[in-house]
Structures are given as C-alpha cells and as structure tokens.
C-alpha cells in the first residue's frame, strides 16, 4: 500500500514492493530503488544505496506520523501519510463541509451503495461502503440534498482522490 512522505512542500509517493530482512525494493515517485536498511540503535538507521551510506536519526514528534529527521548535514521535519491517516484527515475535513461530493481518500473496492440518483439524503447519512486495507468504511453525505450523480458501481475498484457521489444541496 503506497504512502506519501511530506518534507516541507514536497510530497513523495513511496511504495515498498518487496522486503527481505534488511533489503527493501521500493518505488519512490516512479523510480525504483534497492536499499539495505538497518536499525543500528533506537531511532537511528543506516541506509546503504549503491555503495553509499546514509545515516539518519528519526525522532517522533508530538503529532502522530510526524518525525524530526537528523542526518550528518541536515535536519528536517517529515510527515508520513499512510492510507489510514489520509482517510482520517478526509473524514475530519468532510465532517461539517459544504462540499457537494463524496471522494475516496484512498484506493479501495465499493462494497455497497445505499442511495440511488435522485434520492434525498441527509447530512451524515451513509451513502456507500468502501473496503480498503481489509477494513470497511462508511462514507457519509457531507450535506443534505439530492443525489445528483453516482460515478461508481458495487464491486468497482477505485483509486484515492476519485469522486464517488455528487450531491445537489437541499434548497431552502
């Protein structure tokens, strides 16, 4: 499952393709890397890449998935955005939203669609259920209104960031 790593204003997509002990085959922003990663002491790692050694210290910050990273020549903050974090951020951001769409924050499979086009739906009502990372999540209407368009069908596999349902706001 891909992660995003945010360093300052840059986000890198990272996917671990294979791991065998300390050896990692990863893809970072579309480029493949073969790394030898060894934890040498608590929070300190040695990374070997093409004969070059990079040593870094990762110190947990007060926020979950946030780290202070120290190398020999640099210091920076890193945020790791995994699918679970992406979902939680999207849920929190959509809770009292004026958005008129339900968007999948991560890749998954559409398990159930509980509304049809033309249906009236209330804010907070479950519109569909998506399975991701062996867990089912309910996606709720961000506003009250009429279901304008459903872009998916049950059984579809979707990418993250895809619009699933569009809602016309309730006219008062």
End-to-end CA distance of the chain: 43
pLDDT band at 96 (very low <50, low <70, confident <90, very high): very low
Does 145 map to a domain?
A: yes
Measured in whole angstroms, how far is the alpha carbon of residue 158 from the centre of its chain? 13
Q: Would you state the pLDDT for residue 89? A: 57
Residue 17: pLDDT over 50: yes
Q: Is the pLDDT of residue 94 over 70?
A: no
pLDDT computed for residue 15 by the predictor? 87
Region for 169 from its dihedrals, namely left if φ exceeds 0, alpha if ψ lies in -120 to 50, beta otherwise: beta
Tokens 């926020």 belong to which residue? 63
Question: Which residue, 5, 161, 35, 152, is CA-closest to 90?
Answer: 161
Question: Which residues are CB-contacts of 48 (< 8 A; sequence separation ≥ 6)?
Answer: 35, 36, 37, 38, 54
Question: Does 32 map to a domain?
Answer: yes
46, two tokens: 């040695």
pLDDT exceeds cutoff 80 at 133: no
- Write down which residue in 81, 115, 140 finishes a domain: 81
Which of the four pLDDT bands, split at 50, 70 and 90, describes residue 97? very low
Residue 87 lies in a domain: no
Q: Is the pLDDT of residue 1 over 70?
A: no
Domain that holds residue 62: 3-81
Same domain, 59 and 124: no
User: Both 66 and 30 in a single domain?
Assistant: yes
- The percentage of residues in the chain with a pLDDT greater than 90, rounded to a whole number, is 50
Q: Look up the pTM and report it.
A: 0.50
């Amino acid at each position: 499952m891909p992660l995003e790593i945010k360093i300052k204003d840059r986000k890198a997509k990272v996917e671990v393709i294979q791991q065998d002990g300390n050896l990692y085959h990863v893809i970072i922003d579309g480029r493949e890397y073969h790394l030898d990663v060894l934890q040498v002491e608590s929070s300190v790692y040695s990374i070997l890449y093409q004969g070059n050694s990079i040593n870094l210290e990762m110190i947990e910050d007060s926020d979950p998935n946030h780290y202070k990273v120290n190398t020999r020549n640099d210091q920076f903050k890193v945020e790791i955005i995994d699918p679970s974090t992406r979902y939680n951020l999207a849920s929190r951001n959509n809770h009292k939203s004026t958005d008129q769409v339900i968007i999948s924050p991560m890749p998954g499979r559409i398990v159930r669609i509980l509304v049809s086009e033309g249906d009236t739906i209330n804010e907070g009502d479950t519109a569909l259920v998506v399975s991701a990372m062996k867990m089912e999540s309910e996606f709720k209407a961000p506003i009250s209104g009429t279901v304008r368009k459903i872009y998916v069908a049950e059984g579809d596999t979707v990418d993250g960031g895809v619009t699933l349902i569009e809602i016309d706001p309730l006219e008062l």
